Amino acid sequence: MTSSQREFQTIGVIGLGTMGAGIAEVFARNGFDVVGVELNDEAVDRGRQHLEHSTGRAVKRGKMTEAEQKALLDQITLSTSMADLASADFVVEAVVESLEVKKQIFQELDGIVAPEAILATNTSSLSVTEISTANTRPGRIVGVHFFNPAPVQNLVEIVRTVVTEPDVLEDVKALVGRLGKNPVVCGDKAGFIANTLLFGYLNHAVAMYEAHYASREDIDAAMRYGCGYPMGPLALLDLIGLDTAYEILDTMYKQGRDRLHAPAPILKQMVTAGMLGRKTGRGFYTYEAADSPIVV
C-alpha cells in the first residue's frame, strides 16, 4: 500500500473541551468512527453536552436533520480509558496546554496504539518536537492546529518536526482534505503561520495607538475600509481578549525573539488593569455588555 492509499477509519480524540469536542464532531460528520477520551465521568458528560449543543444548533439552522444528528452522535464513543484508543489509526490530542500533561499522554499512547498509527497534537504554542520525545515513534507525530470553532473554521495547520516522516505528512494532508478543510504545512515554531502573521500585525496596531499616531477608530477604519478586513485590529483584540493576546505574543516572542512579537507595553498595562476587552466590558473600546455595540 502506498502512502496516498492509506485509509483511516477510527479516529481517537483525547480531551473533549472547546477544541476536542469540535474536532470529534468534524471527524464524525465526515464519516469516521470516533473514540473520545476524557479524564473522568463528569468531563465525559461535559464533552457529550458540548457535542449535543453544537450539533443541535446545526439542526435548528436546518443544516442537519434530527436523524442525521443522532447518527453522527452514535458514531462517537465516549470513554474515560485511553486503552479504548487501541483501534485508532489517527489520534488527536486536545487536552490542556501543558507540556507535562501532553508528554504523559504521548508516552501512554506508546503502549496502546498500533505502530503504524499516526499521532497528532492540537497544541497552539508548545513545541511539537518536545512533545514527540515522550513517544518511541516521533517520526509518526505531527501537530494539527485546528481553529476555533473547529466545525466552522476551514484551516488546519499541519506542523512537521525535523523527524516527521514524509509519508506521514502526506497522509495527514490527505486526511485533513477529506474533512473539507484546507491543510497548510509549516515548521515547529509557536504561532505557526496564521498567528505569527496575525499577532505581529495586531501588536503593531497597538504600538501605533500607544504612540498616539492615530486614534483607535482611525486605525480600525483604515484596515476595514482600506484593506477590506471585516474588523479593525483593536476591535479584534477586544474580541480575542487582551490577556489571551498578550500570552500568545509573549510565548512567540520568547521562542522566536522576533521584535514584531514583543508585546506593546500598553497591552500588559491594560491586562494588569483588568481591561481585557469584551469579556470585562472594557478594552480598547467600552462595551455595555458582552457582544453589545460599542458605546465608547
Helix (H) or strand (E) holding 11: strand 10-14
27 contacts 194 by C-beta, under 8 angstroms: no
Query: Quick one: 15 or 233, whose CB is closer to ligand NAI?
Result: 15
Query: Quick one: 69 or 195, whose CB is closer to ligand NAI?
Result: 195
List 10, 54, 124, 195, residue binding ligand NAI (CB under 6 A): 124
Alpha helices in 89-193 (DSSP H): 99-110, 128-132, 166-178
Q: Whose CB is nearest to ligand NAI? A: 17
Query: Quick one: 170 or 250, whose CB is closer to ligand NAI?
Result: 250
List 11, 13, 19, 142, residue binding ligand NAI (CB under 6 A): 19
241 interacts with ligand NAI by CB under 6 A: no
- Catalytic hit among 38, 50, 93, 124: 124
Closest Cα partner for 124 from 251, 275, 294, 258? 251
Binding footprint of ligand NAI, residue count (CB under 6 A): 23
Query: Quick one: 146 or 209, whose CB is closer to ligand NAI?
Result: 146
- Least distance (Å) from ligand NAI to the CB of residue 254? 16
Give me the 55-94 binding string for ligand NAI, x by CB under 6 A, dash otherwise.
---------------------------------------x
First to last CA, the chain: 62
- Catalytic hit among 125, 127, 157, 203: 157
23 interacts with ligand NAI by CB under 6 A: no
38 interacts with ligand NAI by CB under 6 A: yes
Strand ranges of the sheet holding 76-79, from the earlier edge strand across to the other edge? 76-79, 33-37, 10-14, 90-93, 118-121, 141-146, 155-159, 182-186
Q: Determine the residue type at 31.
A: G
What CA–CA distance (Å, rounded) separates 284 from 261? 19
Q: Determine the residue type at 138.
A: P
What are the grid coordinates assigned to 74, written together?
A: 452514535
- Catalytic hit among 25, 195, 203, 261: 195
| Residue 97 a catalytic site member | no
Active site residues: 124, 145, 157, 195
